Structure 1
Amino acid sequence: MPMIVGVVAGVAVVAFLALIGVFKAMWRVAEPNEALIISGSKHRTEGVEEGLGFRIVTGRGTLVLPGVQAVRKLSLDLNETELHVDCVTQQGIPLKVRGVVIFKVGDDYVSVANAARRFLDQQKLMAERVHNVFAGHLRSIVGGLTVEDMIRDREKLTGQTRAACGTEMEKLGLIVDSLQIHEIEDPTGYIQNLAAPHAAAVQRDARIAQAEANRLATEAEQASYARMAEATRDSEILQAGYQAERDKALAKSQQAGPLAAAASRQEVVVQETRVAELEAHRREQQLQADVRKPADAKAYEKRTLAEAERDARISAAQAKAKETELAAAAEASRVKQAAGAEAESTRTRGTAMADATRATGEAEAAAAQARGLAEAEAARAKGLAEAETIKARAAALAENQEAVVAQQLAENWPEIVKAGASAFGNVDNMVLLNGADGMADMFAKALTMGGTGLGLARQLLASMNQNGAGGTGQSGTSQLNGATAPPAQQVPVKLDEK
């Protein structure tokens, strides 16, 4: 019996230990910084829709059926990812934004469920996914800002980035604990150039402050030197004063005897001078009583009479001036009225004369303009006619010059012959040989040698071309008449036929 009891007790202990081992194998406890994701059965989780196929346990223990359910852990620790984003601002300036994002899986069941679906087996890739989300939104936000906005209000950039990424992070089941923009790198030097004026101003102020400090120090040193020199001067002056007092006392002691004698003599002179002054004063009083007072009385009488006479003359002059002023004012008023009337009349006459002159001038200008237009039209017609005539003559001369010359010679032949005969006008007797042939030869030579032949014809043509008179016989005739000699005389000719 005791053996049976021992066996039963041993079996019970073994069963209890086995039960404890099985319970321990089935019991899972979630750490404070993790969530247990239990899959393998349909569960209803608060805040999460039905039919997820997994159960979420945080901060407590739960039983898990080995082989039926699978347990995996999702870390709730903080994670961080560094941002290295190349951006371009609204001004087209490339920048490199450096920052850090600290995030974690949300504590609510919805966030844990969303994170479990996306990162349960890829928790190491969580930082990369978050970096990509923030990088895209950061580029978009920086593209709408200027460099000055980013520098002066970095909190605005941070807030806009967090607000833009909030919805996507919520879908991922993540929350952002912190977003910090550490640095904005400027490879083009734009920010440095922006800071250059301020740096120069600070450097300038520093140099000014240093110069001011140096000036104040120099002034203090100079003032100190001046006070030292002043103290030295005062000391020397005091020493010189003391020496002078000693010298004075010594000289005074040496001159005590002579000074006493001089003082006594001076007292005697003072007393004598006093007596003389009293005597002079007495005599002056006597003179005042005897001479000056009567003279002053007479002078006062004459001055009073003269002032009365002067006042009377002044009053009379003032009355006369007032009367003259009133008369002048009246005369001026009359003259002003007359001048106004005359000026108005003159202005009216001037206006009428100006209107008449203007009308006359306009009429004369119109007439002159009409005459000028008529004269210009006539001159233009005349010039066109002359030009046409010259053009026709030039064309004819160019086509048949010899014919034109022959025509002109034929038209002016009588004048040519008359000019040739003038060569014999002063001949009394002439002897001809060879009869009629000699006469013909001599006449032909006279025409050619005398210059009245072809030369006269050329002269005629040149005159016609210059004057443009249309080639009339009258112009040529007048030219010949101007060059002819006196009328030919009858010459007795003796013919000696042999």
Structure 2
Amino acid sequence: MVVGVVAAVVVAALLVLFLIFKMMWRVAEPNEALVISGSKHEGLGEGLGFRIVTGRGTLVMPGVQAVRKLSLDLNEAALDVECVTGQGIPVRVKGVVIFKVGDDMVSIANAARRFLDQQKQMSARVHNVFAGHLRSIVGGLTVEDMIRDRERLTGETRAASGVEMEKLGLIIDSLQIQEILDPTGYIKNLAAPHAAAVQRDARIAQAAADRLATEAEQEAAARKAEATRNSQIQQAGYQAEMDKAAALAHQAGPLADAAARQEVVVQETRVAELEAQRREQQLQADVRKPADAQAYQTRTLAEAERDARISSAQAQAQETELAAVAEATRVKTAAAAEAEATRARGLAAAEATRATGEAEAAASRARGLAEAEASKAKGLAEAEAIKARAAALAENPEAVVAQQLAENWPDIVTAAAEAFGGVDHMVVLNGADGVSELFAKALTMGGTGLGLARQLLSTVNGAAAPQGVADRAVPESVPILVEADGDAEGGAQPGDGAGRG
């Protein structure tokens, strides 16, 4: 009995201990954190007065420590914010923020301090934070920027709110801008041109579809009419065949009679043809075969004679061709030999011509050098002579003039005598003196002789001619009678009165 009592006491004690342990043991669910006040804070420094337990169990002293739960579930805050853009246009921005308490101890501690007894007001607090930042960001944007780049609006809002959310111990899982409302109709007006363009394209597409549908319908109607026509044509053909068959049935009797008569005529015609063929074969045997044999003999003999002539002509042509080839070879060989000889002669002639040209060039060069030397020597001699005459003229001008006249006197007299070249008969009235005066007058007035004498005088730098030669004057009182005759050779005739006074 004592044993039973002891056992009952032990069991009761164990049961009490289990119940006490059950009352003191607290377990944190995966989506919650246990905030235990009245003890040291684990891992966050001293003096906080509470500790945090997540994902495990812990002992809590009843009456000494208090345990409260902080939810780690996702929360949602709807955004409906009235803003004004940088253009001064009022808009309403609607969105949603998905957030939760952070999983780290710092975030849980921050959230516990702020929302432990006000977890239901957490969404309102988040809405207020995002509303303020959203108004500030929208105020720096245009409506076009908000419409075309919502990611920018979302990113800037999330970045601006991140610091404050971290202080609250919250993290943002998602931020979505769902709708931008425009009470003034600005967005609608922006969309009007595009809507009009889309409507225009839609109408064009509808018109094109209608046109294609109409064309298809018309084509289908045309095919239907064509099918109807073909059916009617086929029906008409079938009806014609039926009518033809009926007509043939009605004409079967007369046609049978006509066919019988036709057969009789055909057989008679056949008999006549056979008779004609028999007569033709008889003519072939009696007349044509002998004629063909005679024609074949004649044609064979003619062909043999023609072949003989052709063979003879071919042999003669080959002989002529061989002779022509031999002659062409001979001519070609002779031409090649002649060409070689001509080339050799041309080369020899070219060498001879080149040698002759070189010799003549050397001779011409030597002659040119000799002539140049001779001209140089002659020029030097003439220069020396002119220099000597100039010196003599400077010393004795009369002697020099007289020497020049003496040296050229025959030319002077010859030139003066040319004045009497055309005289046939000349009569001198005063004898020999008249002749001398006549020649002096000719020298003075004849022009040619006087010009020659003056030319000679000019060579001695204009010196005066000797007295009695160039300046002698013929008395104008000398009577001279000259008769010219074209048949006379010229000159005075002594027998014609020369010397008469």
User: Normalising TM by the smaller chain, what interval?
Assistant: 0.3 to 0.5
| TM, length-normalised to structure 1 | 0.45
| TM, length-normalised to structure 2 | 0.44
Pair member with larger Rg: 2
